[in-house]
Amino acid sequence: MAKGMTSMFCFLVAFAAVFWVFVRRTAQGLPSPIRRIGGLDALDEAVGRCTEMGRPVHYTFGIGEMDGNVLASFDVLSYVSGQCARMDTDIIVTNALGEVQMMTEEIVRAAYVNAGKADSYQPDNVRFISNVQTAYMSAILGIFQRERPGANLMLGPFFAESMMLSEAGQQIGAIQIGGTGRTIQIPFFVAACDYTLIGDELFVAGAYIGRKPLQMGAIYAQDFGKWLSLVLMAVGSVLATMGINSVVTLLKK
Amino acid sequence: MKFVRSSLPIYLGVVGGAVVLLAYFLTPKLLQDLSKWFGEWRMTLAAFALTLGAGNLLRIHANRIRLKRESFAFSYVLIFFLIGYIVLGTFWGRTHPLYSYIFDNAYQPLSATVFSINAFYISTACYRAFRARNLQAAVLLIAGVVVMLGKVGIGYAIWPGFATVTDWIMNVPNSAAMRGINMAAALGALGVSLRVILGLERGHLGGE
Amino acid sequence: MDDFLTRMQNIDRRIIYTVVFIVLAVPMFKPMGLPLKITRETKASYDAIEALPEGALVMFATANAPGTQAELEPQSIAVVKHLMRKNAKIVFNPVAAESPRYCDRYREMMAAAGFEEGVDFIQLPYQAGGETLYVAMGTDLKSAYVMIQPGQYELWDSIDGMQDFDLFVDCGGGETQRWAIGHIEAKYHIPHITLITAVILAVVQPYFTSRQFSGIVSGLNGAAEYEVLAGFPGLAASGMDAQSLGHLWVIFTIVLGNVAYFITKAGKAAKARGGGD
Amino acid sequence: MDLAVLGVWIAAFCTLAVYSFLYGDNPVFKFAEHAFVGLAAAHVAVMGIENMRNRAWEPFVAGQWWLLGALIGGVMLLTRWFPSVRWISRIPLGFMMGVAAGMAARRAIESEFWKQIISTAGMKLDTLDNVLYLVIVLCTLSYFLFAFNDRTRFGGAIKSVGVVGQYVMMIAFGASLGATIMARLSLVIARLDFLFRNWLHLLD
């Protein structure tokens, strides 16, 4: 074991264990409550609106690296492109990373196949633009003006393009849902989007939409981590005030 | 064959993810070496994937021209600059004076100007968002305006206290709330990643 | 009147844009010399460099790009100049595809001041990979840069790994700060200072409070503060008045929108009480 | 006209072409946009090719045999161009996704979770600010508890604490927006400085 990693490793094992236990429990059909998340309830509304108006849906991950945000967003893309396939509404996906481009091609294609609409899949609508932020932005400005999407879904690791894309989407009257775990970009989504998924709300999106045991398991493991940290922080700082640093010492083991 | 098609990608993901994650905690040399190699491989593969991305861009614009889509003439512009600059950079190198000249006098100003459009967009976004329609929006508005005044000299000239209040907002409520959001998001990222590392995530690559 | 109030709640964006242009341009011709307050984050960065021993080894990792250069370039120049004054040995490390051109300029600046390439400073080649690159540097710096041959640079040969560095400067407007903290600071505990765009200050600040970063220089005003502290004539300071005025305009539109909103709302409420007309 | 002056004029044209979009989409912007996307993709491809050469091929030839894995994976990615064998490209993709997940997990767990707990748990509650700081962290984190609803035990209580967290987040978001406007304005200042100083020579 590397130095100072023991307690963290124990946490990781516990996290995985809770994960596993709740995957099993949910699979056995035990009730799994989950609180409402407005931004995710709005996904159907967004696709429906595009269908009514005969406009495409635009989906983007932002320009960040392929990280947890992207993996979480894949779940949403899979769901939304399935809905689009069923409703005969076009979905335009724009990408900034080569590997994410390839993954999204697979996901959108699979969603169309699963919806029984393999023939309607348009490869040219899953587009690689550039991993250069400003080039990506300028291309999206153009796409918004010329193809006029009726909904703009921005879920992933966003950087400064968050402000620009959401304001440009606002100008063409698109219904907008923004969500990212990159905390710093959330205020921009809050300012310019109709719905915002704040931080962790994006990561539970897959579970919220799909309610599959696997994804529910992750939610319980995350909640376990949150409860644990709430207790550790509260108890730790009270003890620290009394001059006892045992919690911190334990965590640094 | 079915295994190779739909399960192998997932198992390779499990191996890759588990090795990289465990190498953070455990010290055996083999694990450390593998983790290092996997990291190097991914960097190289990312370079391959990016280059392929340029190919995708080329294909889409070639199709636009072929199908004579709206304003397809501009696709010629894109293809001209794409191919021309690749040829220049690959055969004459990035240090060729013409390559640098284009970078300094076209690429850089274009990029900086596109980015600066953010300034205009944020001013209209704030104009709309900072309106006290309800209590939450009012809280957003007050915090925003105080910080705006605290950040510039002119606010300091109106009332020196703005800078102090801004410092407090940034260091206490802002920093604490951001920490809370970050910690929750970190657990979310961990949950999503574990789904891949434990091989439970079959949706994305298993289709067809 | 009602018509006017409604219009004040929906000012055409082109009008807002035009005024932004004007209020930013005017102070450039007529500077007003508004006061500048030095923040503790900038002071801490200055102190961290000031505390370096003569000839210290510094890694300057930069993700500077055209989009961020307006803020990061004045900061970087001030910091590199300060490091030159301390006779530091600098390893420039461009970590974004657009960054090598910026490193070229810092090298030219050092060469012009009489420092010797390969001995006093070097520039590493750019590599794709983002976070993977930071992990690789943290794991084994030399094998992360296998393409540099032994004997190519005297400075590079004298380095074994990240533990040899006295300071890590991370410059960028995005994710690099977290990578530096997560994969290098966490492992080697060498002092880190970071040059950032003002936008990301709010997320980077907690790392300063938890002392993972020794200092932060943020935005154009951070650059202006650093210039004042280090005593270099200002590239950044000249833009500060324009910022102030631009700010005032944005605040003005916000106030206008809210006042119009409340008058309209009060009017509607009064009508509702009156029983309608 | 010498090349340097021509360069300044090209840069000025590029700047104005992009700003023309603020008024509305137009052919000049379209030209600039397409040229830029082309140049950017080319720049990245040039970097990518350079990386493949000096990161994989040259060290491999020089004897670092393990890089063979990356080269094989890269060739597998190329199968995307051929519909009948494109499934092969999923194999390296699966690997990349796994490694990405591993990296994301390791960063999340230490620097963004564990270290933050340590920093908060070690904080002495001896000033009002510190007490407030702790309370805010706890309330915000409570907002992100998901596995409950109104019928769950304590469901209502958790929700109420979460609402407090929501208000504090609004303060944080407002503050971030306010702090950002200035940063964004500096971007225009830099462009205007270029136009007035280098192009029109109105400033000295």
Q: What is the band of C233 on the pLDDT scale with cuts at 50, 70, 90? A: low
The verdict on residue C35 lying in a domain is no
**C129 and C186 part of one domain:** yes
**C169 and C267 part of one domain:** no
**C85 and C21 part of one domain:** no
Please tell me the number of Cα atoms within 13 Å of A250 on its side-chain side.
14
Dist. CA A124–CA B6, nearest whole Å: 25
The pLDDT, as a whole number, for residue C235 is 60
Partner-chain residue, chosen from C98, C209, C258, that has the shortest CB–CB distance to B131: C258
**C148 and C200 part of one domain:** yes
Output helix, strand, coil percentages for chain D, rounded to the nearest 5.
Answer: 85, 0, 15
Percent of chain C residues topping a pLDDT of 90: 50
Percent of chain B residues topping a pLDDT of 70: 96
Spatial CB neighbours of A164, under 8 Å, sequence gap ≥ 6: A137, A140, A141, B117, B118, B121
Please, what sign has the CA dihedral across residues C98, D95, A161, D145? negative
| Mean pLDDT, range C145-153, rounded to an integer | 88
- Per-residue model confidence as pLDDT tens digits over A135-189: 999 999 999 999 999 999 999 999 889 999 999 999 999 999 999 999 889 999 9
Helix (H) or strand (E) holding D201: none
**C62 and C193 part of one domain:** yes
Please, what sign has the CA dihedral across residues A162, B56, A48, A118? negative
- Per-residue model confidence as pLDDT tens digits over B12-65: 999 999 999 999 999 899 999 999 899 889 988 988 888 888 889 999 999 999
Name the nearest CA neighbour of A68 among C63, B201, D162: B201
**C134 and C19 part of one domain:** no
CB contact under 8 A, A183 and C203: yes
The pLDDT, as a whole number, for residue B63 is 94
CB contact under 8 A, B118 and D187: yes
**C17 and C130 part of one domain:** no
Q: Are C85 and C226 in contact (CB under 8 A)?
A: no
What is the count of structural domains for chain C? 2
Partner-chain residue, chosen from D43, D175, D188, that has the shortest CB–CB distance to C24: D188
Any idea what the CATH number is for the domain that residue C152 is in? 3.40.50
Percent of chain A residues topping a pLDDT of 70: 100
Partner-chain residue, chosen from A70, A199, A240, that has the shortest CB–CB distance to D123: A240
Q: What is the band of B208 on the pLDDT scale with cuts at 50, 70, 90? A: very low
CB contact under 8 A, C221 and B36: no
| Mean pLDDT, range A50-54, rounded to an integer | 96
**C15 and C46 part of one domain:** no
In this complex, the chains that touch D, judged by 3 or more CB pairs closer than 8 A, are: A, B, C
**C222 and C264 part of one domain:** no
Q: Spell out which residues of chain A touch residue D93, defining contact as CB-CB under 8 Å.
A: 99, 102-103, 106
The verdict on residue C26 lying in a domain is yes
The pLDDT, as a whole number, for residue C273 is 59
The verdict on residue C84 lying in a domain is yes
Q: Are C240 and C220 in contact (CB under 8 A)?
A: yes
**C23 and C148 part of one domain:** no
Nearest CA in chain D to C21: D188
Q: Spell out which residues of chain C touch residue D116, defining contact as CB-CB under 8 Å.
A: 206, 210
**C25 and C47 part of one domain:** no
The verdict on residue C13 lying in a domain is yes
How far is D101 from chain A, CA to nearest CA, in Å? 6
The pTM of the full predicted model, rounded to 2 decimals, is: 0.89
Domain span at C69: 40-233
CB contact under 8 A, D196 and C25: yes
**C186 and C270 part of one domain:** no
How far is C129 from chain A, CA to nearest CA, in Å? 9
